[in-house]
């Protein structure tokens, strides 16, 4: 039987529930070197944390994350809190010799992300590993897309066209949840959605974004204050508070490789629920993906006879595709929650091998630098802004 690793989860709302599901199922689907034990779940409200621990299958609950970090039974700390607490918890956990999985974006500022990346590099010398939870890298279709690019099937990459479209705050009466507050979330659609696009674009192309020109907008500047919330849903009272983040962020980009990119992240695309789309065009072919049809990848091979070339819909549901063989018979398809299971599977495999999992905190810092450059460019009337390497 595989050895066990004790996990401590900090935060239990939407992402905490998604991660709980992953820790609960990973060893049933995959052959992993360590079996996760759900030791303790942490949240500030004792009654709510106790209820969440019972519902999500954690052995105990805690109200102070420091006690999770200090718990001898915990070997890995999973951070699913808003961005304002990522750095403090991650630094303490790494210092205590605990492996860390941290939700995206890595931090709320570049300075915090730099401190986290430095601490992660130092901890890795002692065999302590860390990873950022950019779960969309683990969509089988996108992992497969990366392998096509890495095999050279797209040739030289010229364009990345990326959009992340949601509509859950179109109604101006939607409450002022933490994702709309800069001190908690760091930024709005940019950090929440754009961070995924930036990570994926850099992951798929294998090249970093070197400069940007951006616009951002906050369409609804005041919203009712929250009275209670659960996941993305919330109820509101009568008094209003200020929205301090962007509702939408659009930018053009250059990659170090010479490719050009266009990016759009918004929560105001009425009718688009979780439409994370990315298209990559290269000298030898193109690929296109939309999360709303997450089991499909569209691929055009430009080396074929033009008479019968053209985009082909590949159903990424075959055992030969990344992660898929662990699940159901061919053609049965996977969902959002599997991306988190794949993420913790890869982390556990890296722990077993004694290797550094990806995306690393250094990758998270690279994304943070792009987000920061986007905000600086938008504040300077879209001035071209170089992203430090």
Buried b (16+ CB within 10 A) or exposed e, 25-38: bbbebbebebebbb
Measured CA to CA, the distance from residue 176 to residue 65 in angstroms comes to: 25
For residue 204, how far is the Cα from the chain centroid? 14
Which 224-253 residues touch ligand SOE, going by CB under 6 A? 232
Q: Phi and psi at residue 40, in whole multiples of 5°?
A: -155, 140
Task: Identify how many contiguous H helices and E strands the chain contains and give both numbers.
Answer: 11, 17
Measured CA to CA, the distance from residue 149 to residue 152 in angstroms comes to: 5
**Residue 27 vs 137, nearer CB to ligand SOE:** 137
Which 282-321 residues touch ligand SOE, going by CB under 6 A? none
Nearest to 12 by CA among 111, 103, 135: 103
Nearest-approach distance from CB 343 to ligand SOE, in angstroms: 12
The beta-strand segments (E) located in the chain are 3-10, 34-42, 60-62, 76-79, 99-103, 130-133, 157-165, 209-217, 222-230, 233-242, 248-255, 260-266, 275-282, 285-290, 296-301, 312-315, 385-386
Nearest-approach distance from CB 134 to ligand SOE, in angstroms: 9
Nearest-approach distance from CB 305 to ligand SOE, in angstroms: 39
Nearest-approach distance from CB 89 to ligand SOE, in angstroms: 18
Nearest-approach distance from CB 145 to ligand SOE, in angstroms: 18
Pick from 62, 78, 84, 192: which binds ligand SOE (CB under 6 A)?
192
**Residue 192 vs 247, nearer CB to ligand SOE:** 192
**Residue 217 vs 301, nearer CB to ligand SOE:** 217
Is 21 near ligand SOE (CB under 6 A)?
A: no
**Residue 193 vs 212, nearer CB to ligand SOE:** 193
**Residue 136 vs 299, nearer CB to ligand SOE:** 136
Nearest to 304 by CA among 327, 286, 278: 286
Query: Which residue sits closest to ligand SOE, CB atoms considered?
Result: 192
**Residue 232 vs 309, nearer CB to ligand SOE:** 232
Size of the site for ligand SOE (CB under 6 A): 6
**Residue 10 vs 157, nearer CB to ligand SOE:** 10
Phi-psi region of 104 (alpha: psi -120 to 50; beta: other; left: phi over 0): beta
Task: Kindly list the distances between the CA atom of residue 36 and the CA atoms of 187, 234, 341, in Å, as whole numbers in the listed order.
Answer: 33, 32, 12
Burial class of 47 by CB neighbour count within 10 A (0 to 12, 13 to 18, 19+): exposed
Measured CA to CA, the distance from residue 131 to residue 100 in angstroms comes to: 6
**Residue 192 vs 363, nearer CB to ligand SOE:** 192
Which 270-289 residues touch ligand SOE, going by CB under 6 A? 274
Nearest-approach distance from CB 196 to ligand SOE, in angstroms: 6
Is 62 near ligand SOE (CB under 6 A)?
A: no
Overall size of the chain counted in residues: 389
Nearest-approach distance from CB 193 to ligand SOE, in angstroms: 6
**Residue 203 vs 299, nearer CB to ligand SOE:** 203
Nearest-approach distance from CB 373 to ligand SOE, in angstroms: 21
Nearest-approach distance from CB 18 to ligand SOE, in angstroms: 9
Is 166 near ligand SOE (CB under 6 A)?
A: yes
Q: Phi and psi at residue 45, in whole multiples of 5°?
A: -90, 115
Residues that bind ligand SOE (CB under 6 A): 14, 166, 192-193, 232, 274
């Amino acid at each position: 039987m595989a050895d066990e690793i004790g996990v401590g989860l900090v935060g239990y709302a939407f992402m905490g529930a998604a991660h709980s599901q992953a820790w609960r199922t990973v060893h049933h689907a995959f052959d992993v070197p360590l079996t996760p034990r759900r030791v303790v779940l942490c949240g500030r409200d004792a009654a709510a944390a106790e209820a969440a621990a019972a519902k999500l299958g954690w052995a105990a609950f805690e109200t102070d994350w420091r006690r999770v970090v200090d718990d001898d039974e915990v070997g890995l700390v999973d951070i699913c809190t808003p961005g304002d607490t990522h750095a403090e918890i991650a630094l303490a956990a790494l210092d205590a010799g605990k492996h860390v999985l941290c939700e995206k974006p890595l931090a709320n500022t570049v300075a915090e992300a730099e401190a986290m990346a430095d601490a992660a590099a130092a901890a890795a010398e002692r065999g302590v590993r860390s990873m950022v939870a950019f779960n969309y890298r683990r969509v089988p279709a996108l992992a497969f897309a990366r392998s096509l690019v890495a095999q050279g099937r797209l040739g030289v990459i010229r364009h990345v066209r990326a959009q992340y479209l949601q509509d859950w705050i179109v109604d101006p009466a939607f409450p002022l949840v933490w994702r709309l507050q800069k001190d908690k979330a760091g930024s709005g659609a940019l950090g929440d959605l754009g961070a995924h696009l930036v990570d994926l674009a850099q992951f798929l192309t294998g090249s970093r974004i070197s400069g940007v020109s951006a616009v951002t907008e906050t369409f609804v500047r005041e919203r009712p204050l929250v009275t209670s919330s659960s996941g993305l849903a919330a109820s509101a009272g009568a008094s209003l508070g200020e929205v301090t983040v962007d509702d939408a962020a659009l930018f053009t980009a250059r990659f170090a490789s010479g490719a050009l990119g266009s990016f759009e992240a918004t929560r105001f695309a009425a009718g688009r629920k979780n439409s994370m789309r990315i298209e990559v065009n290269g000298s030898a072919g193109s690929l296109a993906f939309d999360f709303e049809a997450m089991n499909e990848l569209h691929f055009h091979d430009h080396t074929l006879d033009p008479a019968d070339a053209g985009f082909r819909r590949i159903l990424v549901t075959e055992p030969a595709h990344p992660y898929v063989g662990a699940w159901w018979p061919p053609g049965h398809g996977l969902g959002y929650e599997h991306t988190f299971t794949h993420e913790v599977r890869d982390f556990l495999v890296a722990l077993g091998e004694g290797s550094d999992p990806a995306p690393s905190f250094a990758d998270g810092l690279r994304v943070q630098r792009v987000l920061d450059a986007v905000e600086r460019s938008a504040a300077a009337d879209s001035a071209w802004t170089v992203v430090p390497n």
